[in-house]
Amino acid sequence: MKVAVFTSGGDAAGMNPALKAFVELSYSKGIEPYFIYNGLEGLIDGKIKKADYSDVAGILHKGGTIIRSSRSKRFYEYDYRKQAFENLKKFGIDRLVVLGGDGSFKGMDVFYHDFGVGFVGIPVTIDNDIYGTDYCLGVDTALNVIRHMLDNIRDTASSFGRAFVVETMGRNCGYLALVSSIISGAEILSIPELPIDYESIEKRLKKEIEQGRSYVVAVVAEGTKQTYKMAEFLEKNLSMETRITILGHVQRGGNPTVFDRLMAYKFMEFALEHINNEEIHDMVAYKDERLKLIDIDTVVNNKYSLNPFLLKLGERLTR
């Protein structure tokens, strides 16, 4: 059996460990492993090559993806998808393993319904915004990067008695900001999933300032578009000298954590165990600390929502 893997959409730490796991576990299961370079773009262009151990030597500790990634606009068009299908036929590839996020799975859902190519998706995105899974590969590393940055910012904020607004990534999802605010002891949180009450925040922090608070850290998810408004609020309403730090793409890189490395192997083992299932077009989900398969139609037709218990923990920082 020939199985090809590709990485698609925003890269995340954990992709390289998953690629190493793919090659090693494939050979141990008698599967012939192939790499498709440049994500869906490479599938269209036929950038396909048989993978062996030497391709994945020394990559486990690296962020990013050695086979590169892309966000393909061409894949929305039937003719390009047909071209992609012809490439798979040419190489005799039976099944695919897809490492990516929601956008990539939407594309694969359409591809499956066009040509019936079986695949297993592994959720990989720092946004952690995919329906059906509590955890996406790479999010643990991104959270550790943010934790490190917030710790550093707190050092300077406290030394200068300043306010800091720190913007995290996550597209429309507030997961990174929510978790980071809780574990770093932020004073304010703004995420798309929770309303923000500036008036209450002002009252709460003015009281704390009277009692001796000298600095403030606000974590704002990019999806809220509140970063500059928050800074203005801190300057004007709390009379604090304020700085903005937009963390940006540093959150996408870095040395994968132990958790992301181990999960890369677990996800891949589970994916390859089921790759030969009849009419497979599923994603491996990590739900309630167990791995399971979910039909890709269900994944792409539902919206991820944040865990209510986590939301409750963050809520007090929004008012």
Question: Catalytic residue numbers?
Answer: 127
Q: Tell me which stretch binds ligand F6P (CB under 6 A): 45-53, 57-65, 85-93, 169-177.
A: 169-177
Residue with smaller CB distance to ligand F6P, 161 or 248: 248
Phi, psi of 204 (to 5 degrees): -60, -50
The 3-class secondary structure across 64-77, one letter per residue, is CCCCCCCCCCHHHC
Q: What are the tokens at 234?
A: 């801190």
Q: Smallest gap, in angstroms, from Cβ of residue 238 to ligand F6P?
A: 29
Which one among 107, 170, 174, 314 touches ligand F6P, defined by CB under 6 A?
170
Enter the DSSP assignment of 137.
B
Residue with smaller CB distance to ligand F6P, 188 or 247: 247
Q: What are the CB-based long-range contacts (under 8 Å, 24+) for 222-225?
A: 222/167, 222/168, 222/169, 222/170, 222/171, 223/170, 223/171, 223/172, 223/173, 223/174, 223/191, 223/192, 224/174, 224/190, 224/191, 224/192, 224/196
Cβ atoms of residues 58 and 19 within 8 Å:
no
**Alpha-carbon dihedral angle through residues 262, 8, 135, 95, given to the nearest 10 degrees:** -70
Phi, psi of 117 (to 5 degrees): -75, 120
Which one among 169, 216, 271, 275 touches ligand F6P, defined by CB under 6 A?
169
Instruction: Based on the shown chain and the rule CB under 6 A, indicate whether residue 171 belongs to the binding site for ligand F6P.
Output: yes
SS3 of residue 149 by DSSP: helix
Which one among 5, 21, 126, 283 touches ligand F6P, defined by CB under 6 A?
126
Instruction: Based on the shown chain and the rule CB under 6 A, indicate whether residue 20 belongs to the binding site for ligand F6P.
Output: no
Residue with smaller CB distance to ligand F6P, 8 or 87: 8
The 3-class secondary structure across 186-201, one letter per residue, is CCEEECCCCCCCHHHH
Q: What are the tokens at 57?
A: 């030597």
Q: x-or-dash pattern for ligand F6P, window 249-278, by CB under 6 A?
A: ---x--------------------------
Q: x-or-dash pattern for ligand F6P, window 82-101, by CB under 6 A?
A: -------------------x
Binders of ligand F6P in range 211-230 (CB under 6 A): 222
Residue with smaller CB distance to ligand F6P, 118 or 174: 174
Cβ atoms of residues 230 and 240 within 8 Å:
no
Instruction: Based on the shown chain and the rule CB under 6 A, indicate whether residue 314 belongs to the binding site for ligand F6P.
Output: no
Q: Tell me which stretch binds ligand F6P (CB under 6 A): 40-48, 49-57, 122-130, 238-246.
A: 122-130
Binding residues for ligand F6P (CB under 6 A) = 10, 101, 125-127, 169-171, 222, 252
